[in-house]
A and B are shown apart, each in its own frame.
Chain A
Amino acid sequence: SQQGEEDPQALSIQEGENATMNCSYKTSINNLQWYRQNSGRGLVHLILIRSNEREKHSGRLRVTLDTSKKSSSLLITASRAADTASYFCATGPSGGSNYKLTFGKGTLLTVNP
């Protein structure tokens, strides 16, 4: 079953603008991760935020987590054409087992030069 659901499904922006993608989930989580996928390629891990964290930064990436709303957002600042990709959130369930990391359907980001 799909746990995380990204929003929007597709986003098109100009180079230099910021891109914000959202992820909502339904059940309690241990952590939430964001992955990136270039067209038809393998997914690459971007950042992990634990359930007791509210915000995390990595380079041009900023992730927030609101466990009361069961939602997360990924902000990419000063976007570049090379950021064009699909972005997925993935949730690891609380209760000890992270084996069934569940992915959403992704947001397709297009950054126009």
Chain B
Amino acid sequence: EAQVTQNPRYLITVTGKKLTVTCSQNMNHEYMSWYRQDPGLGLRQIYYSMNVEVTDKGDVPEGYKVSRKEKRNFPLILESPSPNQTSLYFCASRASGNTGELFFGEGSRLTVL
């Protein structure tokens, strides 16, 4: 089954404790992206990757890092989480090209105390 898998789905952590949210897709997609969703603000893009070893900032990259060492994986790293990073995070992927639907993971709800 074609899917985008995120882990963990739920996480409560404390300020400053480094964490990684993993994202893996099994569709051989070149493009992957991370979004955060907050009430009243919709989805905002954090980082995206056009292919292995190619990443770029989205609209709200501060406080986040990403890496793309393999085509299927695109982890989101919070080096020193802060309470304003409490949010619902989504990973998405799609095939290369100018258009095309995004496939989303089920989301990771992160709470930073």
Contact = CB atoms under 8 A, between A and B. Distances in A.
B19 to A, nearest CB: 20
Given A1-B59, A30-B99, A101-B102, A40 B88 contact: yes
B99 A45 contact: no
Given A42-B90, A42-B105, A43-B104, A88 B43 contact: yes
B48 interface: yes
B98 A45 contact: no
Contacts, number: 64
Interface residues of A, number: 28
A103 B105 contact: no
Q: Mostly helix, strand, loop or mixed at chain B's interface? A: strand
B106 to A, nearest CB: 5
Nearest to A106: B42
A48 interface: yes
Interface string B39-60: 0111101001010000010110
Given A42-B90, A43-B104, A31 B41 contact: no
Interface of A: 1-2, 30-31, 33, 35, 40-45, 48, 50, 88, 90, 92, 96-106
